[in-house]
Amino acid sequence: MENCFKIRFYGDFTFGENYQHSYDSMYRSSILRRYGYEFLLNDIKKVFAGALNFVNLETPLTTKQSSNLEHKKFVVHWSDPLIVPDILKKYNIQCVSLGNNHTMDYEKEGLDETLKALKKAEIQYFGAGKNLDEAKKPFKKTIEFNGKKINLYVICGYIYNKDYDIEYNFYAKEDKEGVFDLNLSVLKNEIEKIKNEDKNSFVVVFPHYGTDFQKTLKSQINCSKSCIDFGADMVIGHGPHMINNMEYYKNKVILYSIGNFLFPVDFKKKPVPYNLIAELEFVYEDGEIKINKRLIPIYVPNNSMLPLPRVINEDELNDVINYLSENNPDVKDKIKVEKGEFICIKL
């Protein structure tokens, strides 16, 4: 539709080569070897149509064979720097966040290779870079209809973690590569700068935070509410590998975790299988641009050796709503279910 623009945000994304390589070595069982990469997207690929798609790419794209972090971190990620960017481009994934706890798993050389591979495939990246200025630079998209415009900004990064700073050397500095540290004082400056300089701005913070397989933590709440206090218009979190609850704070939406999108790992913890795609739809109506916020719930069986994502069935919807409204029962009164091509939750 000419007077409509959609952007969709997806949670943690990797084809899991490092995990599949281990499974193949131990059990002679690799879904990538057996089925191929694109098989994993077969049941979900229709969601990529008609939107600008933005995923949290939770892996470096590298051919490096070893990392100094292999014996320090619990796990280091890697993905193929040729295959993965080509698939992202083929499936209309134009933007990635690198602001997470795996981007620097193969250190400077791994990051350099990742950035080179993404640039070659013409995929925009945010949340990490060759220095702090590049790492903190937000995504910006101008949506304009008939002379009216909104400038959408998306700030990506990884919440501060002492081990990742001191032991792993993950964070970007003025003259050093790395991921953007979501330090509250820096976030305050960045958000307030955008808001003061651009009266047509809509600011989304897309943070990586929380703890694996845990419900919403105080640190997530503090970071998210602080972002809203600084002037952000919406927070779309990810990191725990499962859905967390949501909240309306100062009449603005906070999604504490949209969970995984594609993460082919047999998680022994058996996390909640429901995850989310967050959609912003900019529509020109009656001389103004209206912003509709929606969730597309998806099912990802992450306690399976073959965790293929798909959109939810109608009989799974109430479970999703219950998870979203946990600790905030008023959420149920504010959301609305829409049934079209996908089952959606309008916020």
Q: What is the mean pLDDT of residues 164-192?
A: 97
Percent of the chain with pLDDT over 70: 99
Q: Give the pLDDT score at 246.
A: 98
Residues in the chain, total: 347
The Cα diameter of the chain in Å comes to 61
User: Measured between alpha carbons, how far is 33 from 24 in angstroms, rounded to an integer?
Assistant: 9
Q: Which residues pair with 201 in a beta bridge?
A: 151
Burial class (CB in 10 A: 0-12, 13-18, 19+), 17: buried
Predicted pLDDT at 198: 98
> What pLDDT score was predicted for residue 56?
98
* Residue 28 binned pLDDT confidence (cut-offs 50, 70, 90): low
pTM assigned to the model: 0.97
Contact assessment for residue 130 and residue 98, using Cβ atoms and an 8 Å cutoff: no
Confidence of residue 81 (pLDDT cuts 50, 70, 90): very high
Q: Give mean pLDDT, residues 32-54.
A: 95
Four-CA torsion 85, 88, 90, 92, nearest 10 degrees: -140
Query: Can you tell me the distance from the alpha carbon of 138 to that of 103, in angstroms, rounded to the nearest whole number?
Result: 17
Determine the average pLDDT of the residues in 197-210: 98
Q: What does the block give as tokens for 276?
A: 């989310």
Could you read off the pLDDT of 285-316 as tens digits, one per residue? 999 999 999 999 999 987 777 889 999 999 99
Q: What's the CATH fold of domain 4-346? A: Purple Acid Phosphatase; chain A, domain 2 (3.60.21)
Check pLDDT > 90 for residue 255. Answer: yes
Q: What's the mean pLDDT in 10-28?
A: 85
The SS3 call for residue 234 is strand
Determine the pLDDT at residue 304. 73
Domain boundaries, the chain: 4-346
Distance, first Cα to last Cα, the chain? 21
Sign (positive or negative) of CA dihedral 84, 85, 86, 89: positive
Query: pLDDT tens digit string along 89-112?
Result: 999 999 999 999 999 999 999 999
The phi, psi pair for 33, rounded to 5°, reads: -70, -40
CA distances from 160 to 10, 109, 189, 226 (A): 22, 22, 16, 14
Using an 8 Å Cβ cutoff, are 302 and 260 in contact? yes
pLDDT score of 266 more than 90: no
pLDDT tens digits along 121-134: 999 999 999 999 99
Instruction: Tell me 47's DSSP state.
Output: G
Residue 256: alpha-carbon gap to chain centroid: 12
pLDDT band at 22 (very low <50, low <70, confident <90, very high): confident
Pick from 80, 44, 38: which is nearest to 59 by CA? Answer: 80
**Of all helices (H) and strands (E), which one includes residue 90?**
helix 83-90
Q: 25: helix, coil or strand?
A: helix
Q: What is the CA radius of gyration of the chain?
A: 19
